[in-house]
Amino acid sequence: MEKLVNCPYKRPNALCRLICFPWAAGGTSQFAQWGKLFSSSIEVSSIRLPGRESRLKEPFAKDMTTVVNEITRVLLKELQEKPFAFFGHSFGSYISFAVALHLKEKYGLEPIHLFVSGAHAPNSEAFLPIKSIPICDAEDEDVLRHIQILGGTPSEFLQNEDIKKHLVLTFREDLRVLQTFSFEKAESNTHFSCDVTCFNGTEDKPHDLEAWRDLTSGDISFYKLPGGHFYLLEPSNEIFLTKHITRCIENAGL
C-alpha cells in the first residue's frame, strides 16, 4: 500500500477517500499535501506509479492495463469499505477514468464523484491524436521543450542534468502508457451514475469535455480557472478546488 499510495495525513474516521492521480512524469507530493487543506471528513491520498520517488528503481509500467490492475489490486479492499472520489489532472485524468471503468465493470463499484482536470473526455475524438504522437522518435530536446511549454516543473529541476534526463524519460514512459489506453463507448455497456466535474485553465488549450455527457447519467459541471495547464498549482486555485471538491463530496449525502 505505502509503495503505491502516498497518504501523509491519514484520517481513519473520514467519511470519504479522495484519491488523486498526478500528471505525466508527476510525483505525489503536490496532491498528498492537499490532505491538510481538507476537513477531517475527507482523507486524501495520491497514486505513485513505478519509476519515480520511492519506486525509482522499479521498471516503468508497460501499459494502461498493468497500471489499472496494480491500483485496483492494492486499493480494492479500501474502496469497498467506504465511499471514494477520484481527482485526476491531465495524464492522471485518463488513469482515474480507466481505474473507475475497471472498478465499475468488474466489481460494480464507482466513485461518488469524478473530478477531471486538463484533459479531453476519453471518448472524444480530440483524444485520438494523443495516441499517435511519435514519442519513440522524438528527440529529448523536443520532449523537454514540450514539458517546459506545459509548465509546472520547477526551474531548478531543469538545471540539473540527472533530474532533467529522468524527467524526460518518465514523461516518455507515461505517454507510452497513455497510448495503450483504448476506450470505445460503442463497445462498452458501462455507464456511470456519478457526477463529473471538469476543470481547465483559461490559458490552457481547449479540451473536449462535452463528451463526458455520454459516459454518465449524473450531472456534469465545467469550471475554468485562471492560468495555463498547471493552473491548479496557483494557491488561489488550489483553495477553490479544495473548497469545491469538499462541497461536492458533502452534497453527495454520505
- Enumerate the active-site residues: 90, 229
DSSP state of 173: H
Query: 65 Cβ partners below 8 Å, 6+ apart?
Result: 180
Set of cell numbers at residue 225: 480557472
Which residue is it, cell 465493470? 105
Set of cell numbers at residue 90: 491531465
User: Residue 143 and residue 148: Cα distance in Å, rounded?
Assistant: 9
Burial class of 190 by CB neighbour count within 10 A (0 to 12, 13 to 18, 19+): middle
The CB-side HSE value for 97 (13 A sphere, CA atoms) comes to 29
Set of cell numbers at residue 46: 495520491
